[in-house]
Structure 1
Amino acid sequence: MTEKSTGTGAPSRTLSLLWGSGDTAAPRKGPARSVTVTQIVEAALDMADDRGLTAVTMRAVAERVGVSAMSLYTYVPGKPELLDLMVDTCYLRMPRPAWHDEPWRARLTSVAQSNRDLLAAHPWLTEVAALNRPPLGPGVMAKYEHELAAFDDTGLTDVEIDAALSYLLMFVQSVCRSRHDAARVTTDSAMSDADWWSANQPLLAEALDPTHYPRAVRIGAAAGDAQNSAWSAEHAWEFGLARTLDGLAALIDPAER
């Protein structure tokens, strides 16, 4: 069983924890409980945000909240269920301003941006938040309801709205995952993209013969000059979001195709 995506834990226990009954269970024999599920989730979130998901182990979380590793399992069955709780908590805290009379493009841009902000604040979410098996807790449901409402009055069917939202969120997740991967490479190598290209420029100039690779050399140089790198997260975001919305316009505003 994988511990790196949502929806891999025991469903009945996970749903019980997600909807709050985990903190209000009937009293048990033995010492009184010293922590709550909420405190455990908060500790795990702090660890993931500070040091990445690999830092979040059941033993490490137990040490953070001051209980034994074995005791922690009486609160949360395991790492898969803990991940579901962490993801749902992040979703529950997302801002959800009311939609008014904004055009549909403005509403969907807001949905995309709020998800981008979430993934920027919690980069580890790109590794675990599975679209096919989301933790069906209050955070997921509130987020889903709010984002579906952004498609009101678009004329799409219910199935099309669900698919269109997934399409938009997959774009956001893809760009954010690429951005986080690029940031990790920079951190691991202790070298910026500009420094890397500068250091390798003599070799590249010798190896990349424009007579053999005319398009690659010409277009690559133009993109590099424009972006100051072979790839720019900001350019990918702006260009990709516009094209994603253009694609949805084929369904929502077919007359503009």
Structure 2
Amino acid sequence: MGKEHGGTSDPARILELLWREPGAGQPRRGPRQGLSVDAVVQVAVELADSDGLEALTMRGIARQLGVTPMTLYTYVPGKVELLDLMLDAVYLRMPRGDRPAASWRGAVEAVARENRDLYRSHPWVVTMSTARPPLGPGLMAKYEHELAAFEGSGLGDVETDEALTLLLGFVHSTARAALDAKAAARDSVMSDQQWWAANEPLLAKVFDPARFPLAARIGSAAGERHQGMYDPDHAFDFGLERILDGIARLGDDRDARSSGE
């Protein structure tokens, strides 16, 4: 699965589109009443959700909207800009409920699970590069909401940003691994259990436990526990707990340093 890239060759134009007022996006001489940037983005998101970014084309979007491909370019300059608009749109729709009673740890865990739900609802987002994310209202609302989750953690401003970056990177990596595992199972028409059942006898003929004692002992224990080579849910839960533990320790250390000053 290829890596799709956001980012635009015309920053001024994409910022104008990203920060358009609700209901805006109508060209001055639009060829069809009712068509808008919002409508184009909505159809693009729906197509990506159902068929993936590989199948997303301006021609396919135009067909769904009942217009010619050239018509779309009066609303969106091209696919690069469209990807930015799509990503910001799904960011904007993410749930951002108040968490007044939650501890910082519960709030940060909720952030992780909200992002995991985003990737599950829109798997194509996992494949996009966000090295230069769309600087739109969706991203900004998401960032503001997620930073607030760390209030009470004891972290400074820079540490909060770094901790959030670590958390989101972890969620992205586990979501990508889960997507790859799902694709492998689909392509091979075999579950993990079936794959191991087919390969374990062959591996036993060539694998020497005496040469790889740790791999033999630990691999067997992990495989027996998870009933397979990789358990996405366990990987997520285990890693999230360790990250939360690390943030707590960092906050405690910072408090201790402040108290000693």
Of 92-101 and 2-11, deviating more is 2-11
Equivalent residue for 1:75?
A: 75
Per the TM alignment, residue 32 of structure 1 is displaced from its structure 2 partner at its CA by 4.6
User: Is residue 3–residue 79 contact of structure 1 (8 Å, CA) maintained in 2?
Assistant: no
Per the TM alignment, residue 3 of structure 1 is displaced from its structure 2 partner at its CA by 8.4
Per the TM alignment, residue 26 of structure 1 is displaced from its structure 2 partner at its CA by 6.2
Of 151-160 and 134-143, deviating more is 151-160
Per the TM alignment, residue 24 of structure 1 is displaced from its structure 2 partner at its CA by 4.3
Q: Aligned equivalents of 2:85 and 2:27: distance in 1?
A: 21
User: Is residue 27–residue 74 contact of structure 2 (8 Å, CA) maintained in 1?
Assistant: no
Q: What are the residue-to-residue correspondences of 1:109-148 with 2, within 5 Å?
A: 109-130=109-130, 132-148=131-147
Equivalent residue for 1:108?
A: 108
Q: Aligned equivalents of 1:110 and 1:9: distance in 2?
A: 35
Q: What are the residue-to-residue correspondences of 1:20-35 with 2, within 5 Å?
A: 20=20, 23-24=24-25, 27-28=28-29, 31-33=31-33, 35=35
Q: Secondary structure at the match of 2:5?
A: coil
Equivalent residue for 1:151?
A: 150
Kindly report the root-mean-square deviation, in angstroms, between the aligned alpha carbons of the 2 structures.
2.0
| Compared CA separation, residues 162 and 221, structure 1 to 2 (3 A) | same
Q: Aligned equivalents of 1:78 and 1:50: distance in 2?
A: 21
AA aligned opposite 1:6: G
Of 66-75 and 150-159, deviating more is 150-159
AA aligned opposite 1:224: G
Q: Secondary structure at the match of 2:71?
A: helix
| Compared CA separation, residues 203 and 32, structure 1 to 2 (3 A) | closer
User: Is residue 92–residue 141 contact of structure 2 (8 Å, CA) maintained in 1?
Assistant: yes
Q: What are the residue-to-residue correspondences of 1:33-48 with 2, within 5 Å?
A: 33=33, 35-48=35-48
AA aligned opposite 2:24: D
Q: Aligned equivalents of 2:9 and 2:154: distance in 1?
A: 37
Equivalent residue for 1:197?
A: 196
**Correspondence 1:226 to 2:229:** no
User: Is residue 37–residue 76 contact of structure 1 (8 Å, CA) maintained in 2?
Assistant: yes
Equivalent residue for 2:176?
A: 177
Q: Aligned equivalents of 2:127 and 2:3: distance in 1?
A: 11
Q: Secondary structure at the match of 1:248?
A: helix
What is the aligned residue count?
253
Q: Secondary structure at the match of 1:230?
A: coil
AA aligned opposite 1:41: V
User: Is residue 62–residue 72 contact of structure 1 (8 Å, CA) maintained in 2?
Assistant: yes
Q: Secondary structure at the match of 1:23?
A: coil
Structure 2, unmatched stretches of 5+, are 257-261
Per the TM alignment, residue 159 of structure 1 is displaced from its structure 2 partner at its CA by 1.5
AA aligned opposite 2:50: D
Equivalent residue for 2:259?
A: none
AA aligned opposite 2:195: W
Q: Aligned equivalents of 1:41 and 1:55: distance in 2?
A: 15
- Tell me the percent identity: 51
1:168-195 Cα shifts (integer Å, max 9, x gaps): 1000000001000110111111111111
AA aligned opposite 2:28: P
User: Is residue 37–residue 75 contact of structure 2 (8 Å, CA) maintained in 1?
Assistant: yes
Equivalent residue for 1:161?
A: 160
